Structures are given as structure tokens and as C-alpha cells.
Amino acid sequence: MQNLKKLKLLVAVPFLIILASGCASRPAAQAGKAGAETSSVKEAKVDAQEENLGKIVAQAERDGEKQAGTIKQAAKSYIGGISDLAVANPAKVSELASGINKAILISGVVTQWQPSTRSDSDAHDIYTVITVHVTQQHTFRQVADLTGQDIHIVQPGGLTTVGEQWRYYPKKDFENLQEPTAEEKQQPVFVEDSEMPLPRIGDQLITAIQPFAHDASLQFLKHNRFDQKEDFVTAHGDNGQFFLNRQTGQYESRAVKDVNYGFGQVSGVGQAPVYESSATNVLSGDDSGQIHDNAVALLKDINQRFAVKTVSD
């Protein structure tokens, strides 16, 4: 009888061990499966985001081609010097969120332009609100992350007409100005800061921005007839906005070549504006001093950090 009990025990122990090991392996297998599913979900989410971004970029580039045709047919007029919206560049990305700049560095694609607004007192104070779909926020995460959002940035320049230019031009300061004809007043004019070219729809760019300061912004928005819902202004000195060259994967600065300044000197109807650009240098009328040197250093730092691989790579 004792032998029979021993036999049953010998048979039962291995069976229990096998059963226990099977039960133990089940949660591990389930955890592994859950981990694989979580990874798949993440990958699917990333794929969906990339696909959506691809659609946004493709649509923006198509809209940009239409916009380029409109700008080409407009007369060209340029604002001399840097806009009052800008402040001096820091020399490194890490410095953008510190000191007096308090800037937010973002990557994004320009998707829209809103109709330009202007000052009631100056013919050249023309501003455009550009919409940027933010692909990544690089600095200053003390504020809410803007990644994936569409934000609005006030930039100097925009599309207007000869009639609008004439209406706001300080004619008392000049002699022998002849009023344009009714037909001439309908002529579209593209106004641009020669050292801070307006980003075009379809441009992929890196730019430093600042939220409007409350009191100052309300004064500025009211004076320039905005709807007081704009989010940001540019926060950089001249040539401080960097555009992705899709052929090289490098970011470049831009500056306008062969400009004519002021009312009555608009030109270039039927011609696209010509820009100088460089992946290694920032072009400026003044190629010395802190602002220029800092802009050069900042562009170099941006390319070291954010230059992208091209298709050929």
C-alpha cells in the first residue's frame, strides 16, 4: 500500500510542476503579446501621423504653386531694413529660450496666408498672418507643446494694391506726386521686407517665435486692424528665419536681390522675386557685428542639429 502511495506521488509531482510552469508562462506570453500589440499600435500611430503630415505638405506645395503665380504677376515693392517686429539673434539654439529672447524654436510647414493688414499711418506698414502647421517644437517647453498645432504668426509684408499704397502714402512729405489712374490703382503690389522675406505657402522652415505680450500686443493689433486673435510674432533679427532646401536637406537663409524701395518704384511685373540663399552663411547688407555674426552661428547650429537626410541619402 505504501508503495502504491509513493508511486502516485511520483506521478503527481512532475504533473504539478508541468502545470505550474504552464500557468507561469501564460502571463509572460500574454505580456509579450501585449507588448507587441502596444508597439504595433505606436508604429501605426506614427505611420498615420507621417501620412497626415505628407498630405499637409503636398497640399501646401500645390497651394504654393498657385500663390507663386499671383506674386509673379504683382508689381514688387520692398521695405528697407529690418522690421520693428524683430530682435537680435542669439548665437545658439540653446540660447533662444533664455535672456531677452524668450523665443520658441519650431519646425513647420506654411499652409496659408491670411489677408494682409496695415497701419493707418504708414503706407509701408503691411503685415500678413501666416499659418504654420508645427511639426516639432524644439525649445522653451515651459509653454504648451505646439507640435501638431496650426499657429498664426504675424510677418511684415504682403499683397496689396497701388490704390492702397496711394491711400496711405504720406504725400505731404513729397512734391509732384501724380495720383495713379483708376486702372493703375487696381494693380496688385507685393510688398516684402528685403531682409526678412515672407515665407511662402509650402515652405518648410525653422523659425523663432514669441507670443504677443498682452498690453503691447493689443496696442499693435488695434493700430494695425488685426482681429486681435493672432498668436505669435517673429522673434529674430535679419535673416533669422531658415528654410529647408529639399535638395540638400540643409536649412538656408534668404535675402532679396536687386530691390527697389518705396512707392513709385514698384517693378518686376511678370517676374518672380529673386532670392539669395546660403546653407553656410547668412547674407546681409552689413556682414559684421553681433547680429550678423550671431545669425551665422545660429544657422550653423541649426544645421548641425536639424539638417535632414535627403532622398538620395
Q: Over pLDDT 70: what percentage of the chain?
A: 64
pLDDT higher than 90, residue 109: yes
When pLDDT is cut at 50, 70 and 90, the band that residue 27 belongs to is: low
pLDDT higher than 50, residue 20: no
What confidence tens digit (pLDDT) does each residue in 200-257 have? 999 999 998 887 665 555 566 666 656 556 678 777 666 678 999 988 999 998 888 7
Q: Report the chain's C-alpha Rg in angstroms.
A: 29
pLDDT higher than 70, residue 263: no
> What does the pLDDT read at residue 133?
96
Tell which wins on pLDDT, 111 or 194.
Answer: 111
When pLDDT is cut at 50, 70 and 90, the band that residue 25 belongs to is: low
Task: Count each helix (H run) and each strand (E run) in the chain, helices first.
Answer: 5, 11
Q: Over pLDDT 90: what percentage of the chain?
A: 20
Specify the pTM: 0.78
Q: Where are the beta strands (DSSP E) in 93-197?
A: 104-118, 126-137, 150-156, 158-161, 188-193
211 exposure class (CB count in 10 Å sphere: 0-12, 13-18, 19+) = middle
- Type and span of the H or E element at 64: helix 2-73
Beta carbons of 281 and 271 less than 8 angstroms apart: no
First to last CA, the chain: 80
- Type and span of the H or E element at 234: strand 232-234
What confidence tens digit (pLDDT) does each residue in 265-298 have? 556 777 788 888 877 767 655 566 666 778 788 8
pLDDT higher than 80, residue 125: no
